[in-house]
Amino acid sequence: MHEFSIITNIIEIVEEKLKQLNANIVHDVEMDVGEMAGIDFDALDFAWQHATKSALLKDAKLVVNKIEARAKCEGCSHEFIINDFYTPCPKCGIFKNDIFQGKELKVKAINID
């Protein structure tokens, strides 16, 4: 539900970089977004379509690298892939997950002319 404000932050980061580089054509903006980052990917895409109407970004494509979420069990130290916050450890069955990957939300790179 907050994807519009996230996109606004992304645009600020990219526009600031473009100013520094004195560049004005952006082909794509590449992002790393964890599957447990609290982001709805469709909503992010939708927000991008509507927010990037400035001259600099109107033709830019948003490329999202989805980062799978991984957790470590506090009980048995087993590391495993999770798709939600409440998956028990597949090895010992307890719910003591520490998520160490999958909460990323960053602008990775831009492709410019």
Partner 1 sequence: MCTTCGCEQSGNTISFQKPGEEKHSHLHNHSNNHDHDHEHNHDHDHSHSTKIDIEQDVLLQNNLLAERNRGYFEAKNITALNMVSSPGSGKTTLLEKTISALKDELNLFVIEGDQQTMNDAIRIKAAGAPVIQINTGNGCHLDSQMISKAVKELQVADNSVLIIENVGNLVCPSMFDLGESKRVVVISVTEGEDKPLKYPAMFNSSDICIINKIDLAPYVDFNIEKAKEYALQVNHHLKFFEVSAKTGEGMDAWFEWLKGEK
For position 5 contacting partner 1 by CB under 8 A, the verdict is: yes
Of the CA atoms within 13 Å of residue 15, those in its CB half-sphere come to 14
Per-residue binding string, partner 1, 81-100, x by CB under 8 A, is ---xxx-x------xxx-x-
Its sign, for the CA torsion 11, 14, 18, 24, is negative
- What's the chain's Rg over C-alpha atoms? 17
**Count of helices and strands (H, E) across the chain:** 2, 6
For position 47 contacting partner 1 by CB under 8 A, the verdict is: yes
Q: Which of 7, 69, 71, 82 binds partner 1 (CB under 8 A)?
A: 7
For position 107 contacting partner 1 by CB under 8 A, the verdict is: yes
97: closest CA among 113, 112, 111, 83?
Answer: 83
Residues making contact with partner 1 (CB under 8 A): 1-14, 17, 21, 27, 31, 36, 38, 43, 46-47, 49-51, 53-54, 58-59, 61, 74, 84-86, 88, 95-97, 99, 105-113
